[in-house]
Amino acid sequence: MPTFFTRTGDDGTTGLLGEGRLPKHHPRFEALGTLDEASAALGLARALAAAPQTAPLLVEVQRDLYKIMAEVAAAPAHAERFRSLEPARLQWLDEQAEALSAVAPIPREFILPGDSLAGAALALARTVVRRAERRISALIDQQELNNRLPLQYLNRLSSLCFALELLENQHAGRSTTLAKGL
């Protein structure tokens, strides 16, 4: 019978996909943890979503994040084997954000998160996605990851989160609160 624990990480290391172990504090696992947080934050936003477009888009995005996580979790020698995110997903993200901006126009000023529950959850998810983007950028800079597609995907995903935040605020009948004076 499977258990919820393996105890293999009790020594302070975590296994890579393929082979090998690294300390739990390694930047690769910081990136993985942040990607996991991003997926959880997007899941919260999905659970709160009211606009009909939001939940299906977020399910697809969460599946894409798991593809990115598999590649990041792979030992460098095995990364290619675990690379499954297609470059066409960048265009898909762009198309989704563009379609949403036609429905919920982008304000000309900074906005304050919190005009609807789902919108606030998407704002939070966007900030976690941005942190994941910084972690992936560091892995690329440190030559721990040689594929820029995850970085590009996360950059585009943050824009989609913002567009979805505006959509959710609109769907909730709330006007977006502007930061004003900046």
- pLDDT per position as a tens digit, 112-169: 999 999 999 999 999 999 999 999 999 999 999 999 999 999 999 999 999 999 999 9
Q: Which residues form the domain of 65?
A: 23-79+86-171
What Rg, from alpha-carbon coordinates, does the chain have? Answer: 18
Establish if 47 belongs to a structural domain. Answer: yes
Which amino acid, one-letter code, is at 103? V
Establish if 11 belongs to a structural domain. Answer: no
Spatial CA neighbour of 8 closest among 25, 28, 22 = 22
Instruction: Give me the CATH number covering residue 113.
Output: 1.20.1200.10
Angle between helices 27-48 and 149-171 (to 10 degrees): 20
Which alpha helices (H) appear in the chain, and where do they start and end? 27-48, 54-73, 88-103, 117-141, 149-171
Q: Say which DSSP state 177 is in.
A: P
Establish if 143 belongs to a structural domain. Answer: yes
What is the total count of domains within the chain?
1
Establish if 35 belongs to a structural domain. Answer: yes
The better pLDDT of the pair 151, 76 is held by: 151
Establish if 104 belongs to a structural domain. Answer: yes
Cβ partners under 8 Å of residue 107, min gap 6: 166, 176, 178
